[in-house]
Structures are given as structure tokens and as C-alpha cells.
Structure 1
């Protein structure tokens, strides 16, 4: 038997590494678990297996965490670096590396418990009042002329929205109403910014209310009840794009349309340029077809009138003048419409004017040809071939022998002048009626 030397302490136990790790893990299990802890997420990573790994930290320390797929599938949001969270789990030791590790069983945003309850109560109240009713929500304008934007001048959301609008509708003016989007003063500033756009002249056609993602505390200004009622009173449609796709606020439910992100909000109110060009081409085809139909209808009407005319020269001249005036007004109207289209769509400034001008010129030439054909029906042209226009003393046209009496005075119009005649004899059948002419 070995006896320790006088004055020496008894020898301490020598642990195997694995045994010590297990002993520490048992001590932690007995002393702390289950444990709840709050901190900020750093280095969040979701593996292909579905397990999640991250570090939970604060100013005084940090703790490695693992959240296995079973628990991760129950998350109602997408955690990311910088999120402040509250989690519940079991503290232990990861024996292969001898590291302290917290196995997370549940995770939520910090402060979500009380704030989320307030959110649900406020949402239920406003929904019961009808602020979320789909029947009161308005469609977005197909072609807005001015866009209002409410956000913070320093927010990344402003850059995202401006970038999307410049890409899709660089010709549209955007009116920025700056406001805080986070903090105690944010609701009042958001309300003031919206109201400034409501009374703006010239008015905007649609309003974007946007900000980037964040925790429930960061987005809490958009759950303000007064802000919700201000959104509902908007005279124009309001699109709200707050946070990420999984974030919801009271403002989202009050808006005429909710967008999952600020960029998506901008894209919803700004159709791509190609869509505008396709619409312009469609309108051009309709205008051309309408012009052709009008000209065809006018031509048919002219033919019907010409067929009913007894002496069409004067009426033909009036019709020709009227057609020329209509053609002039049509050209003038086309020039005005074309100028407006050029102002709105600079990319069509050259091709469309030339096409429309050429089409109008061709139709004008067709009108002139129709007028020339109508002129050929003038009785004055017929008189050049040896015919005469006979009328009685009252000016009534004489077309039948039964209208003549011996000794009656008649008036004859020839190609180069007029003559007064007296009827000597009237006969029926193919024989001529004899007259004596007194040259006038």
C-alpha cells in the first residue's frame, strides 16, 4: 500500500477527455435545462439537410447554436443575421469538439410575444370596422402619369424603388414625400407625408409606401392605427411594400394592394416599356382601320348622293369643299394626336409620324380621284357632246314631249351659250319637234 508523503495532498482524479465532456454535459443538463435565452443572430446558415446553425451573441458573449430540421420547419419567419431573437432549448456540450452548444427547440423574434398580441388585437378591430374589405380597394392605374413615394431618404428601399422605376418607366416623374420609417416619431411623419401627397397639384395617380425588412419592432410604425385610417382615406390607390415577403403589417391589409418587397411595389405600378410599345402599336392599327373605314363610308355616301342628283355640279362642288374641310380637320387632329403620342413615347417619334402622314396623303389622293370622277357627271360635260338642257319659262326642266305646246317659249342651254326658242309643232313618236330659235 502506498502511503502519501507527509504534508502532500492526495492525488486528484485524471479524466479521460470524453468522460469529462459527458460529465460537464450532465452538469449543464441538471443545472440549466431547459433554458431560454435572448440575443442577436450572427452567421445564420441552413444546411442541405434542413438543419440550421448560427451564433447567438450580445455585448458580453456568444453561444453556438444548432436547430435541427424538425424544429426549423416550425419557424414562421426566415431568420437572418442581425435579428434579435428569443429561443428555448437545451444547453449541452458538443463532445467531438468539446464546445458548448445550445440545441434550439423554438425560436421567435425578440419581443414578439407582447407585440404580436397587440398586432392581432388591432388587426381584428380594424377588420371588424371594414378597413380591410376587398370591395373598397381600387385597381391600379394602367398608365400612371405621376407616382408618389413615401419612404426614408436614407433607406435602401428608396434605391430599390428608384432603380426599378428607372428601368421600366424612366419618363415618369416620381414625387418623394420623405418620412421616418422606424421609431416613435415614424407614424406621425408617415401620416404627414401621405397627406401631403393627397393634396399635391398636379395630383399623383398612385402612391408607394415602402421600407426594407426588419424585426417586428423595426416595422411597428406600420401597425399604427392612425396610419391605417390615413391609408384608407387616400384619394388614389396605395401600394404598400414593407419588409420581406414573410412580413405583414396593418398597413398591408389597408392598402389597395400589398407588395412582398419595395422592388415588387415599384414593378406593380410600372408596366415594362415593351408593354407600352405593344399598346401603342395596337392603337396605331385601330386608328388606321378607323380612318380607312371612315373614308370608305364617305365614298359610298358620295356615290349615293351622285346617283340621286339631277344637276349635280353645284352640289358636287359643295361636297368636294366639305370633304376637303373634313380632310383638313382630320389632318389637323392627327397632327395633334401624333404630337401627344410623340411626347409620351419618345421611341416612336420618327416612325409613327411618317407612317401616319403617308397614310393620310394616300387617302387624300384617293379623295381627290373620287372628286374628279364625280365632276365627270356634271351636265356641263354632257353638253360638250352636242346635247342641250331645256327648260320652260319658269325654269322647270323639260324632259317629255307632253310638256310642250305649239307656240310655247322654251329656253335651251348649250355648251357655249343659251338660246330662246318657240315650239312650232309637237308630235309623238320618233319624229322631231320643230322649233324656231331666237339667239340670245
Structure 2
């Protein structure tokens, strides 16, 4: 399964993508698997739009790929590309979302014959990627406040001066340990590996260098080739401490960058990442601002590209106007028909309600009458007068309170007795209480 692509696992079998998210996922997968990429092919259909962007295709006997070269890169061309010319393009694979096209965003273009070393870089990168050497899951966070910082570089390199200056300015209290090594030439890979192993041993033995910087200044692909050495790259993944790789400039990439726990755009940036201070936070904000500016420019490039494509497809506007008028007439017809159906439905509903309303009212009145009659009958059963009609009497004392117990009256007390047709006064002669 291609790294970064959604596989056909059972948990994803029912996943339904939106078109836009799917295009972005494919673009991310391509970027993780291939970028940066170099392609050799024959130029076909080369054109430069009014925006300054260049569009063409690279093809050979077995295929072709669409290419877009934005104005910022096109302005750096040292030759005029022409159809049929064999060139080497370096850049990044992407997906043009509005049309779902695979395209190569070309950052540099040179006549063929200058890319053999880069092809070797890509082959080794593909091999190590397949083995999982660059797996993001094994990478570690940097310590927020390291007790010591190690640096692997040349003693005479400008990168070392930049790193030491940055660390002295930001964290002068943290000791810095230098592990010297050549950073260019035939002996550089072996010396870099030896310096790294020394740092590993001292860290395990005494805790020296809680984070390790692998740095050098910028240069050509040949100058930086020592940092693409397979042994060095594999050794970086075995480090007992986090490794920060700051090789070259921001646009330079080496295999050591992919293997390290963190890639810094420059040696100075590598030092700053290991020594976060208030000033570094401000620097990070500036860096994010630049990233935002690049993203905005990239978005503008995408919009300009889309405008170029739309301009090419526009053709005669009269046909579009006619089609739009036809769609408008169809929509008007559907709207009128829908309104008529709605009005008829409402009329039918009102008529049904008019028929049902008298029946509902009669039913409600009948129910209320029956309820009233049942309540009246229940209430009459509770009338005390009905009890008196059956020969019973209601006794009250001198205050008019009901007498219900023998204990409430004594000999000589006068009681009132209410009968069915009036009231009589009684005097208590004696009393007997039931056991």
C-alpha cells in the first residue's frame, strides 16, 4: 500500500469522500511519497500566460504529465524552453483540485544532462522510505530546557559560528559540546558517523548532549552529498537523544533531514529550536508570518492558474448566455408549477377542515354535556340532606360544632339536633360510651 494513501481496510470500506477532501488527501499522499521530485522529458505545448505563469507538458514514449511553473520560478529561467526540447524539471507533485488533474509544480527547469545525482538521491530516498526509516511515528520531541547541547559539524564551518553565536545569545548558561567532523568531501561521511557515535557513547555514559545538532551551511547538491550517505542516515535513526538536522538553506533537502527527529531550515534555526526563549518565540512568529505569506502567494498562484484555465475555456459568451436563459426559463416553469400545486393543496386542506369543523364542534359539546351530567350526579350523592331524609340527625354543641363522639357531651349539656324538616334542642341526661 502506498504510504499516505487511504488503504482498503475494513474500517474505511464505508468511508465516503467529498471530492475536495479526496483531492487534498491524494495531494498529501503524493507529497509524502514523492516530493521533492525530478522528472526528465520532452517539452510539449509550452505557453506563458499574461499572469507570468508557464504551462506545458513533459512527455516521453510511455506517458506525460502536466506542468505549471509559477511566475516567481519562471522569472529565474536561464533559457527559453521550446517544444521538443528535453529538459529536467524539479519540483513537487500536486493535484489541481478544481479539475482533479495531476500536475507537477515546477520550481526549476534545466536542459537535460544535469540530474543524475538527483536521480540517485530519489532512488535512495524511495528505498529508505519503503523500509520505514523516515517513519514519523518514531520521531521524538525536543527537550524544552536541555542541560547540554551537542553540535556535529566542521570546526572551520561558518555554520558552527552561527550556531555558537545563537546559543550564546539565547542560552549562555547551557554548555555546548562540539564533535568535529568534515562536512564535505570523500572522507566526510565516515567522519560524520564517527562524530555521531562519539556523541552517542558520551550521552549513554554521562548524559552529555541531551539534544544533538547536525549542521552545515548551504551549497550545491554535490556539496551537501555527505548528508545523503546511507550509513549516516541509518545511524541518525539509532541516536539515543533527539537529533536536529540543519543542513543548507531552507530550500535544501537531504536524506539526513528526513531521518532526523526535527528538520531546521538553517543551522541558526536548528540552534534556536533547541534554545527556546522569548526572542525565539518572536522569531517563530516571524517565520509563521513568512509561511503565511508564502501560502497566500501560493493561493494567489492557484487562483491565477484557475483564471488562466477559465479564460482558455470561455470562448464565445453568447452560447453561455443562451444556456443560462434556457435554464432560467425552465426554473421559472418549475416554480410556477410548484406554486400552483401548493395552492391547490392548501385549498383542498381548507375544504376538508371546513367539512370536519361542525362534526368536531358537535362532538365536543356532547362530550362536555355528558361530563357535566356525570359530575352533577356524583355531587348529589354527597348532599347531607339525603342522609337526614333516611332518619338520621346531625348533632351540634352550643357553639354549633358537630358532635361525633360521646366524649364531646356530658350530662346537662344542651345539644342541637338537625332533622330532615327542622331542628330541635336536646338536653343530655346521661351518657354511655361504647367499649
Taking structure 2 as the reference length, the TM-score comes to: 0.40
Taking structure 1 as the reference length, the TM-score comes to: 0.40
